[in-house]
Amino acid sequence: MSIDPLLVKSSFAAVEPHGTEVTAYFYRHLFEHHPAVRGLFAEHMDDQQDRLFAALGALVTHLEDTDTLVGILQDLGRRHAAYGALPEHFPAVGGSLLATLAHFAGDAWTPETEASWTAVYGVVTDTMGGALADAVRSAARD
């Protein structure tokens, strides 16, 4: 399945004006469906909510610039090793992310948009999750 950058960008643009409501919805969804990951996150998450959204914006901006995109995702993946995140958490986060985008994108959410975001999240899982798995493995060796 391939990524249509225009669909990804236009749907993200439709979601963006909803601001902090979006990340609040995302975390509510994630913790309700996957309570086991709640303990990894700090109790007060205001900063974290802004940073997650900013990181998503950077991914969308650099969607067609593969080198930059891969660099951002590898850095994020390596940092996530310190947060106790694991590659097996990615499907849970991806499910909540897509549910959140679908909720806020309105008419911009179509089966084609969903397919494109699914493909984007596949790249996130492979690249960020791969860097995370490497970092976790090398920490275990030290």
- CA-to-CA distance for 117 and 126, rounded, in angstroms? 14
Residue (7 or 93) nearer to ligand HEM, CB: 93
Q: Is residue 55 near ligand HEM by the rule CB under 6 A?
A: yes
Q: How many angstroms separate the Cα of 113 from the Cα of each of 56, 76, 124, 134?
A: 16, 24, 16, 31
Q: Which residue has the tokens 């996150």?
A: 41
Residues 84-113 that bind ligand HEM (CB under 6 A): 85, 89-90, 93
Residue whose C-beta lies closest to ligand HEM: 42
For the purposes of burial, counting CB atoms within 10 Å of the CB of 3, is it exposed (0-12), middle (13-18) or buried (19 or more)?
A: middle
Report the residue from 15, 60, 81, 124 that binds ligand HEM according to the rule CB under 6 A: 124
Q: Is residue 80 near ligand HEM by the rule CB under 6 A?
A: yes
Residues at the contact surface with ligand HEM, assessed by CB under 6 A:
37, 40-42, 45, 48, 51-52, 55-56, 76, 79-80, 83, 85, 89-90, 93, 124
